[in-house]
Structure 1
Amino acid sequence: MTDSRTFTEQARRAQLVDATIEQIARRGLAGASLARVAEATGITKAAVLYHVGSKDALIAAAYQRVLDALVASVGAAIDAAPVGDRPAVYIRTMVAHLRDNPRHVRVLAEVGREQDVDHASEARWAPLAGIIDAAAEAATEHRAVAKRGATAVDSRALALIIGGAIDGIVAERLADEEFDVTSAADLLVSLLPGH
Structure 2
Amino acid sequence: MTPRRGGGTPTFTEQARRRQIIESTIDQIATKGYPATSLAAIAEAAGISKAAVLYHFSSKDNLARATFQYVVERFSAYVTERTEKQPDPRAALIAYVRALIGYQQANRSHVRVITEMLLDDDGGTRLKAPGGHDTGGRWNALAALLTEGQQSGHFRDFDTQFVSLAIGGAIDGVIAHWLAHPELDLDAAADELETFTLLAVERR
Classify the TM-score, shorter chain: 0.7 to 0.9
The alpha carbon displacement at 1:2 in A equals 8.2
After superposition, the C-alpha distances for 1:61-118 in whole angstroms (9 at most, x for unaligned) are: 1111111111011000001112221112111110111011100010011111137179
**Residue correspondences, number:** 185
* CA 154–16 in structure 1, closer or farther in 2 if over 3 Å, else same: same
Consecutive aligned runs of 4 or more in structure 1 exceeding 4 Å deviation: 117-120
Q: Which runs of 5+ in 2 are unaligned?
A: 4-8, 129-133
Residues 121-162 of structure 1 deviation map (CA, whole Å, 9 limit, x = unaligned) = 23x12211001111222235xxxxxxxxx7312211111111
Equivalent position to 1:23, from 28, 35, 41:
28
Please give the TM-score of this superposition, normalised by the length of structure 2: 0.83
Aligned mates of 2:102, 2:2 — CA distance in 1: 33
The reply to whether residue 35 of structure 1 matches residue 43 of structure 2 is no
Opposite residue 94 of structure 1, the aligned amino acid is L
Q: Secondary structure at the match of 1:50?
A: helix
Q: 1:98 aligns with which of 81, 104, 120?
A: 104
Specify the structure having the higher radius of gyration (Cα).
1
What does residue 130 of structure 1 align with? 144
> Greater relative contact order: 1 or 2 (C-alpha under 8 angstroms, separation 6 or more)?
1
Q: Distance in 2 between matches of 1:6 and 1:57?
A: 19
Quote the offset at 1:35 in angstroms: 0.2
Distance 1:151 1:5 in 2: 49
Give 2:111's aligned amino acid.
V
2:118 matches 1:109:
no
What are the Cα deviations for residues 20-63 of structure 1, in whole angstroms up to 9, with x where unaligned? 00101111112221000110111111111011111001111111
**Which residue of 2 is the match for residue 48 of structure 1?**
53
**1:174 alignment partner in structure 2:** 179
Q: Does the 8 Å CA contact 2:22/2:63 hold for their aligned counterparts? A: yes
Letter in 2 for 1:82: P
Root-mean-square deviation (CA, aligned residues, Å) is 2.1
1:154 to 156, 159, 166: 159
2:153 alignment counterpart = 139
**1:87 equivalenced with 2:93 (yes/no):** yes
* Greater share of residues in helix: 1
- Give TM-score scaled by structure 1 length: 0.87
Is 1:121 aligned to 2:136, yes or no? yes
